[in-house]
Amino acid sequence: MAILSQLVLYPIKSCAGMPVEEARATVSGLVAQGVHDREWMLVTHDGQFLTQREVPRMATIVPRVEGDALLVTAPNMPPLRLPLALEGDARMLRVQIWDDAVEALDCGDAAAAWFGDALGTRCRLVRCRPESVRPTSEKWTGGAPSSARFADAYPLLLIGQSALDEINARLLAAGRAALPMDRFRPNLVVEGTDPFEEDYTESLQAGAVVIKPVKPCARCPIPAIDQATGIPGPDPLDVLQSWRSKAILDGAVCVGMNCIVLEGEGTILRVGQAFEVSLSF
């Protein structure tokens, strides 16, 4: 039995998370308070997606829903209000996210100027079109269909609290500081499982919804970035390398599992609810 202890959306890709008490599970990720996970994204002037890998200060951009708008704050900046209602005159912008080129809605010059000032780099804010479908690779899903908005690859990321506890025990033993869960940017955190049990979990079920882990999450340098300040620190991957390297991903250090919604599209998930866990052996 696993207990859902955290639910987190990231309305703007690679910016701060938005913890929620409940969210709807869809094939393209979580939806809560009228916004989708990774519904917005920052891009360069030529449409290439931006993340904390290139701009660590993105961690300090904090989105929250307030009334009919996404309220966005950043240090030393006035708040920015982004209407949740779609604007019919938004122009289309072709953007690149990894190998995918997609048409997105440009959020205008005022938003571009705000983010440019907040981050000290020229950029534009785009929004995923409601009708946009960006299929995930079926190589890892066993042929099950799934999609993502502006997430890197899959709609959900799952991590067990016990996995972070073990990571922190090893970091402390190596003379490093413990890390908070936000360094690994999960959507779903569960308690009551063995360390890294998600690696060999076949499915998690709560009522009608079935969530299936499909691919280990190869980690980039983002766990080294303090999510409160946007300042990079010691990279924990060198400590993790000794026991979290996955041969099936060419030796990449992996923490957490990318997941899809296998059944129960539209089901509401709530913090504190229990999942029945089926293991893959």
How would you label 115-150 residue by residue, b for 16+ Cβ within 10 Å and e otherwise? bbebbebebbbbbbeeeeebebeeebbeeeebbbbb
Domain 2-32+136-279 has CATH 2.40.33: yes
pLDDT in tens, 239-252: 999 999 999 999 99
Assign 89 a pLDDT band (cuts: 50, 70, 90).
confident
Indicate the range of 23-32, 138-147, 163-172, 261-270 predicted with least confidence: 138-147
Assign 138 a pLDDT band (cuts: 50, 70, 90).
confident
Assign 253 a pLDDT band (cuts: 50, 70, 90).
very high
Residue 145 has pLDDT above 90, yes or no: no
Phi-psi region of 222 (alpha: psi -120 to 50; beta: other; left: phi over 0): alpha
Q: Name which residue leads in pLDDT, 80 or 137.
A: 80
What proportion of the chain, given as a percentage, has pLDDT over 90? 93
Q: Which of 168, 215, 207, 211 is nearest to 190 (CA)?
A: 211
CA 272 to chain centre: 20
Tell me the domain boundaries of the chain.
2-32+136-279, 38-128
pTM value > 0.95: yes
